[in-house]
Chain A
Amino acid sequence: MATSEVEIQVAERALQHHFADMEQQKETSTFGMWMFLLTEIMFFGGLFCAYLVYRSSYYHAFVEGSQKMNIWLGATNTAVLICSSLTMALGVRAAQMAKPKLMIVLLLITILFGLGFLGIKAVEYHEHWTNHEFPGPNFHFQTGDPEHPASDPQHTEIYFSLYWAMTGLHALHMVIGVGLVSWIVIVGAMGAFTPEYYNPVENVGLYWHFVDLVWIYLFPLLYLISHKHGG
């Protein structure tokens, strides 16, 4: 592979003193990122465990809560995230192939998708908030069907606690993700990355896909529990 002198210089600058060569540095950084994601999985895992326990014990309450979710907004958001993952993956590929401009364009689109996701989420949050579906003293749950009053509002409140905690934590990760991608765009525009040194792009990409992955599970678990009857 032909590398220009500038690239070699950039690569030398990018090699930290305690690594023997670029290969060791790259593999180390990628492995470190995966380790971090392992931690993240366990972090969400605690919440998923709580979800599992309560859902298995209070299925009715969870069904009633889940029926308050806007499936179409949720499904749209899933699609938005999947699209953002595609542009992210293509962005990393552009970095690998020494196409910094293409990378920046793709990452900017990724940011737009990310912001779009957060916007839609905000609309949903607003709806739940005004419907008193935020847990706490103001929580007031109605099924909206006088035939079937809420059977177990207490545990529906727990459903909503978990809903807010899980999606809120996820949204926080999205915000951090948007920040990280913006950072990559800025640093990338200054010419920091080469096919030899693009670990930060790769790692931010891994993070972004991981956040997408969490949502892929959150969507069916929170939005699609059951839609057959009113409780």
Chain B
Amino acid sequence: MANHSEHDYVGHIIPSKIYYVIWAILMIGTAITVFAATLELGIFNIVVALLIATFKGTLVVLFFMHLRYSTKLTMVTVIASIFWLFILFSLTMTDYITRAWSTYTGR
């Protein structure tokens, strides 16, 4: 968006250096993920793994997929996808998490 003028239909060209830097970060991220999995962090194993994955995914979307340089509409599209995934996951889990509560507690 920042450097995207209205009449410039030649897409924004990103310096190749940025691509190499992102690639390097992604590779390091993968190494960290594998390393972190060998640690014993209990429930935080999954938290760490997902945080790294989300960080990597964000980089891919922002730079490789040019989201950072895209229209607001595209950003809204991406946000919508995350939002609807969240609806699917969270409302399904409201059932599974609370199912065991119902029978004997609080009676």
Contacts and interface: CB of A to CB of B under 8 A. Distances in A.
Chains A and B touch each other in the complex, with CB atoms below 8 Å apart: yes
Interface of A: 1, 21-23, 26-27, 30-31, 34-35, 37-38, 41-42, 45-46, 48-49, 52-53, 56-57, 71, 75, 78-79, 82-83, 85-86, 88-90, 93, 96-97, 195-196, 198, 202, 205-206, 209-210, 212-213, 216-217, 219-221, 223-228
Contacts of A48: 85, 89
Contacts of A195: 10
Q: Give chain A's interface secondary structure class.
A: helix
Contacts of A210: 65
A226 B45 contact: yes
Given A86-B20, A220-B53, A35 B10 contact: no
Nearest to B95: A53
A184 to B, nearest CB: 16
A35 B9 contact: no
The residue in B63, B74, B81, B88 that gathers the most chain A C-beta atoms within 10 A of its C-beta is B81
Given A23-B7, A75-B30, A53 B37 contact: no
B16 A90 contact: yes
B37 A30 contact: no
B75 to A, nearest CB: 10
Given A209-B65, A220-B49, A97 B13 contact: yes
Nearest to A71: B34
Contacts of A79: 27, 30
Contacts of B74: 30-31, 34
B1 interface: no
A216 B33 CA distance: 10
Nearest to B74: A34
B33 A82 contact: no
21 contacts: A35-B77, A38-B81, A42-B84, A42-B88, A49-B89, A52-B89, A52-B92, A56-B96, A57-B96, A71-B34, A79-B30, A89-B63, A97-B13, A196-B9, A202-B11, A209-B61, A212-B60, A212-B64, A217-B53, A224-B33, A224-B34
Given A31-B73, A85-B64, 13 more contacts: A21-B9, A38-B81, A42-B81, A45-B84, A48-B89, A49-B92, A56-B93, A195-B10, A220-B37, A220-B52, A224-B33, A225-B45, A227-B37
A89 B23 CA distance: 10
Contact of A216 (B10, B40, B57, B93): B57
B70 A30 contact: yes
Contacts of A35: 77
A219 B33 contact: yes
Contacts of B78: 34, 38
A57 B23 CA distance: 36
A35 B70 CA distance: 14
A78 B26 CA distance: 10
Contact of B9 (A23, A31, A85, A227): A23
